Amino acid sequence: MNENVTAGGALAGFRVVDLTRVLGGPFCTQILSDHGAEVIKIEPPQGDEVRDWGPPFKGGLSAYFAGVNRNKRSLGLDLRTEAGQEVLFRLLDGADVMIDNFKAGSLEKWGIGFEAVLSRRFPELIYCSVTGFGADGPFGGFPGYDAVAQALSGQISINGGPESGPTRLGIPIIDLATGLYAAIGILMAVEERRRSGRGQRVDTTLFDTGVALLHPQAANYFMSGQPPVLTGNSHPNISPYDQYPTSKGRLFLAIGNDRQFRLLCEILGRPQLADDPRFLHNADRVVNRAELNAAITELLADHEAESISTALLAKGAPAGAVLTIPEVVEHPHTRHREMVVEIDDYRGTGIPIKLGRTPGAVRAKPPHYGSATREVLASLGYDEAAIDRLIADGIAFTERAKPPA
């Protein structure tokens, strides 16, 4: 180990009370937990519903849940009850952040809203809410789901090609990006609190995230007044920026300037193509995209995607073979960058933020429901008899409650 590395992570000593479920919120808190924050995941009596999202399942966990809940402790708790809220208040005493993705207005309905109650009782608390559309406005309070946000924010309208029509992005990009925005907002609020000594609310929504991610299509529309059209794998502003067949596999080229285009032509054995008046500059190449794509497809017919992409990258021409997930997992660069991690029977994606002195770490597998309930309650001062009563009374849980009939 590097002697300058400090154990514990950049957020060691940072406590997060995590009331989130499904994806956006848990992805945010996993980022924080990977970097050393103590994250206590409070789950409702029936648990985070993505525990049931599968197959696949392994060791009593769904892959969906396992993917965004490592390095956390699970406490089963009914926050709708007065006794459950008292447990929450004890947790918040000394906590840095509370985050939830309840439907807007839920905390207020339970009598523990941030402005009216929590901010007054815990003035240094940073509270982050992740909702679909926010608390007000025409869609305020509506439930939020990634695909719905993709549709309503215009994401689906610009993804896909003329043959497929508008298409949902294959990954839940808005949920994940909202989790990233939430983590950034929390850390901004932490820095501001260092100066002011006061907490504040961090308000993130799926809808806002979807609109914020509309680049460059929104910028193009603002400047041209023309609605974007479906371009499939092509880029509306750059060419060649597309996917091409090869003799083995498919290749994506992302040629962003004239120098890179000249390199591409040289490596493919046709340097004179870079001097063709139709392809001299990017604007020319965009106008003559169809002719250029036909020429590139012909030149790639005798190449294999992986070997030519490596050759192009080595010379400074951006290109990538279109790899499958199994190929990515086994790729030597994936391993070199430690982007697959393993603990016992758990495997997950690695930590993309590499800090030199305080690196993140995967310290614990995703938790089973309520596995830390007794431990957390004891740390809050509840004795064994009191913990037994909370469990017997249906306030705290070590096992998931059955859903109502």
The count of C-alpha atoms lying within 13 angstroms of the C-alpha of 217, restricted to the half-sphere facing its C-beta, is 19
Catalytic residue chosen out of the listed positions 78, 100, 175, 242: 175
Closest of 113, 118, 31, 123 to residue 72, by C-alpha: 31
User: Tokens 């000593």 belong to which residue?
Assistant: 13
**Cα(388)–Cα(384) distance, rounded to whole angstroms?**
6
Tell me if residue 383 is catalytic. Answer: no
Residue 239 buriedness (CB in 10 A; 0-12 / 13-18 / 19+):
buried
**Under DSSP, is residue 32 helix (H, G, I), strand (E, B) or coil?**
helix
DSSP-derived secondary structure for 244-297: EE-SBSEEEEE--SHHHHHHHHHHTT-GGGGG-GGGSSHHHHHHTHHHHHHHHH
Q: Which residues lie closer than 8 Å to 218 by C-beta, 6 or more apart?
A: 154, 211
Exposure string of 158-178, with b = 16+ CB inside 10 Å and e = fewer, is bbbeeeeeebebeebbbbbbb
**Cα(88)–Cα(69) distance, rounded to whole angstroms?**
20
Q: First CA to last CA across the chain, in angstroms?
A: 54
Q: Which residues lie closer than 8 Å to 301 by C-beta, 6 or more apart?
A: 245, 246, 247
**Under DSSP, is residue 42 helix (H, G, I), strand (E, B) or coil?**
strand
**Cα(373)–Cα(381) distance, rounded to whole angstroms?**
13
Residues shown for the chain: 405
Distances from the Cα of 242 to the Cα of 51, 156, 235, 353, angstroms = 38, 19, 7, 28
Residue 392 buriedness (CB in 10 A; 0-12 / 13-18 / 19+):
exposed
**Cα(400)–Cα(346) distance, rounded to whole angstroms?**
22
Phi then psi dihedrals of residue 269, to 5 deg: 85, 20
Q: Which residues lie closer than 8 Å to 171 by C-beta, 6 or more apart?
A: none
Catalytic site positions = 175
